[in-house]
């Protein structure tokens, strides 16, 4: 498993984590850090500043001249070493060591009151990091080796030169500084680990929630990061911000982060009233709360309180899914999956509600028998352009599922959405050319419905698709009807001298007389017979203005009797054919005179 914080393959062990943090040169700021922590060795020395701290040394020998020689004739200051004192017997030397706590002790091995071997043993008990250098004669060589086994740093045989003792003391100082450096690095790393602990805990829970893990490994990692929770009787709540994409699509990042912080803070404080819990971000619009099962309150009551507080103290609302209680941390993944499953049922609520996995655990269902027939009736309504009937059938289908108990899984409704959307598109393609359905086809193919949206959202999208589809049918039907009626009108104009009947014209355009009559009136706004008469009268006027004989005009327009023609003409124009000609003659219309009796 990769480390989330550092994107590496380190394990959860202390050593690997320290190495990981140090390698990354990590600096975490958690909360307010007004001053740096102080790291001290057992003598109270600040390990962060040990590079400027002088190393201390003391000299113990029963010969005063030896003590004075090595303490005063060597310039210890140039090595960063300070002489803390001298003594001329082992007992006084131990008192000096106890009071001054020197880093380096140079002592003779044979001294009165307390010999060098016993002194070494006591020094290693009192100051285990101090370096003991023994001065010994050749006859005490085996004795000195025992002291080295007790922890003495080195020994010098007498007689010795000042340069030789200076060299050995400097080596002891270098080893002390190296140890201090190492301790400083470890202390610094441990502090950084403590500062990063919130992130390590979140990494632990991400691992526990998203993977089926081994119980023993889960226990070890839990004990390392020590969350403020009992590892038993745990459950998961998932909180999702309602309408997140719509509300925060164009929001600045600081506003988005402030909303997340407020949600996390409110959730933590609400849970803390009832039980112990940890809250952290799961995705951009979700928080996960892991909490110990409360003893006196139901988990649903805690979740309801979270919903209420979020809606009261922020402009947000949240939907919450609750998983079942698990006995131990290695089963947390199951509670997380259950909470996620329960959360998906907010598809029905539309948000600001709590659903427990117990409420939706059993969702096996069978397809209602009336659904298939309702789907077919919806198709017929769409193909006829009857939008009100199509919407009614669509709502019937959706309501059939919504009213089922238990509720079907949201995934089923989502598949139903695509089925109905593509069913509508196929029904339209049977009636309307594809090139006229480009807009609707794009809506169906590019539309996205998921369990993060609600049933109401899905219903609105389908209503829009069906309404737009019926409009396409209506527009296409109107266009086709106009074309047919134009053909019928052309037939009428071409056969004015014939006895034009509705049946004959309907047959000419391949429609039934009843359907043709309704369609003709819908397109032209008048009955077929009235339209034919109007066309004939307008043609008669034209012919009269050409000074054609009235009998000839009547016959050319399909009137067998001249008098019947005159009666019809007068009914529509309020004048006889002769009066019409005379009226236009009086208005200086150029008409030829012809004696015609009516």
Q: Examine domains 55-181 and 495-588 and report if their fold is the same.
A: no
Residue ranges of domains in the chain: 55-181, 211-359, 369-476, 495-588
Exposure on the CB side of residue 38, measured as CA atoms within 13 A: 6
Residue 249: phi and psi, rounded to 5, are -60, -45
pLDDT of residue 367: 53
pLDDT of residue 33: 32
Cα–Cα distance measured from residue 244 to residue 258, given in angstroms and rounded to the nearest whole number: 14
Fold of 211-359: Alpha-Beta Plaits (3.30.70)
- For the packed helices 455-494 and 438-446, what is the interaxial angle rounded to 10 degrees? 170
* Claim: this prediction has a pTM higher than 0.75: no
pLDDT of residue 453: 66
CATH number listed for the domain at residues 55-181 = 3.40.50.2300
pLDDT of residue 293: 92
Nearest to 326 by CA among 215, 164, 171, 413: 215
Q: Where are the beta strands (DSSP E) in 317-358?
A: 318-322, 326-328, 354-356
Regions of the chain where pLDDT drops below 70: 1-52, 138-141, 144, 249, 362-370, 405-406, 445-453, 585-598
pLDDT of residue 23: 39
Element (H, E) at 217: helix 215-225
- For the packed helices 116-126 and 141-149, what is the interaxial angle rounded to 10 degrees? 10
Mean pLDDT of all residues belonging to the chain: 80
CATH number listed for the domain at residues 495-588 = 1.10.10.60
Tokens of 519: 């369609």
């Amino acid at each position: 498993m990769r480390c989330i914080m550092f994107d590496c393959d380190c394990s959860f062990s202390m050593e690997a984590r320290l190495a990981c943090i140090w390698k990354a040169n990590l600096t975490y700021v958690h909360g307010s850090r007004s001053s740096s922590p102080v790291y001290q060795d057992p003598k109270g020395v600040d390990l962060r500043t040990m590079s400027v701290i002088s190393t201390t040394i003391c000299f113990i020998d029963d010969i005063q001249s030896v003590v004075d020689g090595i303490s005063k004739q060597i310039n210890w200051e140039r090595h960063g070493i300070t002489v803390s004192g001298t003594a001329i017997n082992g007992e006084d030397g131990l008192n000096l060591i106890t009071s001054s706590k020197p880093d380096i002790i140079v002592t003779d091995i044979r001294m009165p009151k307390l010999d060098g071997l016993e002194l070494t043993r006591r020094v290693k008990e009192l100051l285990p990091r101090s370096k003991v250098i023994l001065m010994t004669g050749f006859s005490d060589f085996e004795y000195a080796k025992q002291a080295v086994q007790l922890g003495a740093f080195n020994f010098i045989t007498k007689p010795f030169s000042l340069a030789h003792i200076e060299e050995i003391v400097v080596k002891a100082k270098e080893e002390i500084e190296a140890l201090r450096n190492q301790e400083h690095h470890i202390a610094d790393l441990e502090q950084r680990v403590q500062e990063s602990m919130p992130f390590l805990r979140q990494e632990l829970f991400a691992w526990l929630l998203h993977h089926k893990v081994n119980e023993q490994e889960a226990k070890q990692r839990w004990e390392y990061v020590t969350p403020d929770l009992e590892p038993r009787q745990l459950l998961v709540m998932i909180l999702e911000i309602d309408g997140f994409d719509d509300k925060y699509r164009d929001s600045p990042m600081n506003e988005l982060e402030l909303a997340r912080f407020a949600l996390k803070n409110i959730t933590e404080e609400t849970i803390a009233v009832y039980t112990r819990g940890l809250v952290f971000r799961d995705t951009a619009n979700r928080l996960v709360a892991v909490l110990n099962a409360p003893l006196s309150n139901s988990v649903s009551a805690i979740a309801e309180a979270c919903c209420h507080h979020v809606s009261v103290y922020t402009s947000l609302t949240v939907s919450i899914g609750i998983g079942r209680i698990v006995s131990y941390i290695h089963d947390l993944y199951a509670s997380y999956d259950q909470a996620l499953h329960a959360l998906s049922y907010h598809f029905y609520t539309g948000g600001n509600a709590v659903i427990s996995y117990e409420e939706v655990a059993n969702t096996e269902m069978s397809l209602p028998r009336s659904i298939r027939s309702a789907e077919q009736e919806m198709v017929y309504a769409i193909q006829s352009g009857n939008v009100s009937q199509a919407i009614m059938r669509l709502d019937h289908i959706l309501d059939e599922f919504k009213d089922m108990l238990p509720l079907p899984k949201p995934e089923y409704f989502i598949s139903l959405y695509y089925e109905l959307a593509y069913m509508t598109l196929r029904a339209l393609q049977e009636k309307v050319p594809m090139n006229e359905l480009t807009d609707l086809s794009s809506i169906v193919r590019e539309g996205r419905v998921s369990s993060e949206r609600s049933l109401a959202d899905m219903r609105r999208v389908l209503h829009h698709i069906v309404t737009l589809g019926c409009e396409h049918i209506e527009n296409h039907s109107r266009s086709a009807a106009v074309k047919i009626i134009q053909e019928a009108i052309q037939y009428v104009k071409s056969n004015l001298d014939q006895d034009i009947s509705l049946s004959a014209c309907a047959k000419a355009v391949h429609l039934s007389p009843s359907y043709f009559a309704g369609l003709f009136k819908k397109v032209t706004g008048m009955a077929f017979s009235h339209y034919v008469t109007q066309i004939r009268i307008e043609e008669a006027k034209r012919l009269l203005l050409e000074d054609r004989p009235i009998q000839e005009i009547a016959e050319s327009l399909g009137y067998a009797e001249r008098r019947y023609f005159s009666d019809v003409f007068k009914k529509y124009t309020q004048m006889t054919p002769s009066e019409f000609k005379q009226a236009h003659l009086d208005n200086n219309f150029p008409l030829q005179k012809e004696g015609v009796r009516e």
